[in-house]
Amino acid sequence: MTRLSKKNIASYLSLSFLLVFFFSCQKEDQIEQSLAFDPQKDHEEADGMYPYDWLSTYGFFEGDLKSLTPSQELIEYEPASSLFTDYALKSRFVWMPEDSKAAIINDKLTLPVGSVLIKNFYYPEDFSRPEGKRRIIETRLMIHQEKGWEAFPYIWNDSQTDAKLKVVGGETKVSFVNEKGEDQVINYLIPNKNQCKTCHNENEKLDPLGVEVKHLNHEKDFDGKKINQLAYWTEIGKLEGFEGVENHPSMVDYSNESLPLADRAKAYLDINCAHCHREEGPASTSGLFLSYEQTDPLKLGINKTPVAAGNGAGSHQFDIVPRKADESILVHRMNSTAVGVAMPEIGRTSIHQEGVELIRAWINEMK
């Protein structure tokens, strides 16, 4: 072999290395861009490309999309108590832009502009095997832009390969076997974009639920280790202002039957009702405030006449009648699916039997 051919071979190998390196870096850059998108810029400058038509475009999940395997940049979170949505199970994640972090100020958690909250709703075929085959119904995104939060609903296709943006919402029939082995069929309603503000409403502005300090100030499993969620966010550099578990409010899991009944009941009302029934919510004029920290009996509805319940009150006179749950408007409305009676007004088409029994037991034990 001549010296010239050896030189050519060396040049060829060097060029090949550079090309491999270049395309590898380019691929990594593309992956990074798919995760580190700029919601404000994409919306205003990308020729109307944002929000994306398909969930997969964001790059939040790796591999087979239906596995919902999060990318490294996502943080899974879980509120202490979960909002009832026709028995659907949920997985929740938050994404924050690089070099940004959330902050706790006066016990209020604020996420940086550009953050995305990702919430998946799904049903196992058999609830006794929740890790088995499942059907994902929808994924809701809430994106924090300069002008505030905006919500986008994505509906999954039948083949479970992707979810498409559907601002008009949708409806689908869901079948599953519950934990008792009973066949169940639910007519699942997916809210439209405008309906999101019905619940996600603070002083008439769209606002997240479930990422309040009191909802997250409890332990969760991270890589096989139990750690307080807010402490974990602090540890990985995505939160400032956390001063220790005991120095911030926290809420219990209402499904934990070992805890005091009153705490469980108030936790249930907080996560299912207080987004409206609070001073900053759309039901503020009702005078019925159902947040976990509420201690005023009248504001909790005890022996309180409704302001304007209309037909929703049925034949009952008071929101809560101590020791008489079945004479209480609160139980009456929870135990109905009729339009104009059922509370919450949207988000469910079935009765949460366990929730009704919890509130009924709480009222019947009141002194």
User: Does a cis peptide bond (omega within 30 degrees of 0) precede residue 124?
Assistant: no
How far is it, in rounded angstroms, from Cα 287 to Cα 336?
A: 22
User: What value does the mean pLDDT take over residues 172-192?
Assistant: 93
Q: Which is more confidently placed, 210 or 365?
A: 365
* Reduced 3-state DSSP string for 174-238: EEEECCCCCEEEEEEEECCHHHHHHHCEECCEECCCCCCHHHHCCEEEECCEEEEHHHHHHHCCC
Contact call for residues 151 and 119 (beta carbons, < 8 A): no
Query: What pLDDT does 1 receive?
Result: 38
Q: pLDDT tens across 231-247, in order?
A: 999 999 999 999 999 99
Q: pLDDT tens across 274-318, in order?
A: 989 988 888 888 999 999 999 999 999 999 999 876 778 889 999
Nearest alpha carbon to residue 168 among 196, 149, 144, 148: 196
How far is it, in rounded angstroms, from Cα 273 to Cα 202?
A: 13
How far is it, in rounded angstroms, from Cα 296 to Cα 87?
A: 31
User: What value does the mean pLDDT take over residues 201-212?
Assistant: 76
How far is it, in rounded angstroms, from Cα 251 to Cα 271?
A: 10
Place of tokens 């079935």: 350
Place of tokens 């690089």: 98
Name which of 108-117, 208-217, 339-348 the model is least confident about: 339-348
Place of tokens 């009729």: 338
Query: What pLDDT does 45 receive?
Result: 45
What residue segments make up the domains of the chain, in order of their start?
A: 43-247, 261-364
CA 235 and chain centroid, separation: 23
Nearest alpha carbon to residue 115 among 170, 77, 79, 161: 77
What DSSP character marks residue 112? P
User: What value does the mean pLDDT take over residues 175-188?
Assistant: 95
What's the pTM?
0.85
Task: Report whether pLDDT(30) > 80.
Answer: no
Task: Report whether pLDDT(325) > 60.
Answer: yes
How far is it, in rounded angstroms, from Cα 317 to Cα 36?
A: 54
Count, in order, helices (H) and strands (E) of the chain: 8, 17
Name the band, by pLDDT with cuts 50, 70 and 90, for residue 367. Answer: confident
Q: How many CA atoms lie within 13 A of 335 on its CB side?
A: 16
How far is it, in rounded angstroms, from Cα 249 to Cα 107?
A: 7
Name the band, by pLDDT with cuts 50, 70 and 90, for residue 14. Answer: very low
How far is it, in rounded angstroms, from Cα 275 to Cα 269?
A: 10
